[in-house]
Amino acid sequence: MLPNVLQPSATDHVPVLADQVRESLAVRPGETVVDATFGAGGHAALLAADLQGRGKLIAIDRDPTARTYFARFEKRAGVQARLLSGDFCAVLQQLSENGVRADAILLDLGVSSMQLDRPERGFSYSVDAPLDMRMDTSQDLSARDVVNEWPERELVTIFRRYGEERFAKQIARAIVRRRKEQPFERTGELVDTIKCAIPAPARFGEGHPAKRVFQALRIAVNDELSSLEAALPAALEMLRPGGRLAVISFHSLEDRIVKRFLRERERGCTCPPDFPVCVCGHEPELRAIERRPVRPSQAEVAANPRSASARLRAAVKTGAPE
| Footprint of ligand SAM (CB under 6 A) | 13, 15, 37, 39-43, 60-63, 66, 87-88, 108, 110-112, 135, 227
CB closer to ligand SAM, 77 vs 198: 77
Least Å from the CB of residue 179 to ligand SAM: 28
Which residue, 253, 208, 220, is CA-closest to 149? 220
CB closer to ligand SAM, 42 vs 209: 42
Helix (H) / strand (E) element for 295: namely: none
CB closer to ligand SAM, 112 vs 170: 112
CB closer to ligand SAM, 134 vs 178: 134
Question: How many degrees, rounded to 5, is the angle at CA 79 between CA 74 and CA 83?
Answer: 45
CB closer to ligand SAM, 111 vs 262: 111
CB closer to ligand SAM, 47 vs 213: 47
Least Å from the CB of residue 106 to ligand SAM: 7
Q: What share of the chain is helix, strand, coil (3-state, %, to 5)?
A: 45, 15, 40
Give dist(CA 291, CA 79) in Å, integer. Answer: 33
Give dist(CA 224, CA 221) in Å, integer. Answer: 8
Give dist(CA 139, CA 58) in Å, integer. Answer: 23
User: β-strand 311-317 against 239-249: which pairing, if any?
Assistant: antiparallel
Least Å from the CB of residue 65 to ligand SAM: 8
Least Å from the CB of residue 115 to ligand SAM: 6
- Spatial neighbors of 305 by CB under 8 A, at least 6 apart, are none
Least Å from the CB of residue 134 to ligand SAM: 10
CB closer to ligand SAM, 135 vs 190: 135
Least Å from the CB of residue 35 to ligand SAM: 7
- The Cα-based distances of 150 to 142, 175, 180 in angstroms read 11, 10, 13
- The Cα-based distances of 124 to 29, 129, 271 in angstroms read 39, 8, 49
Least Å from the CB of residue 227 to ligand SAM: 4
CB closer to ligand SAM, 63 vs 189: 63
Strand order in the sheet with 32-35: 80-85, 56-61, 32-35, 102-108, 239-249, 311-317, 286-288
CB closer to ligand SAM, 46 vs 175: 46
232: left (phi over 0), alpha (psi -120 to 50) or beta: alpha
Least Å from the CB of residue 19 to ligand SAM: 13
Give dist(CA 101, CA 96) in Å, integer. Answer: 7
Least Å from the CB of residue 128 to ligand SAM: 22
Give dist(CA 210, CA 187) in Å, integer. Answer: 10
Question: How many degrees, rounded to 5, is the angle at CA 154 between CA 153 and CA 155?
Answer: 90
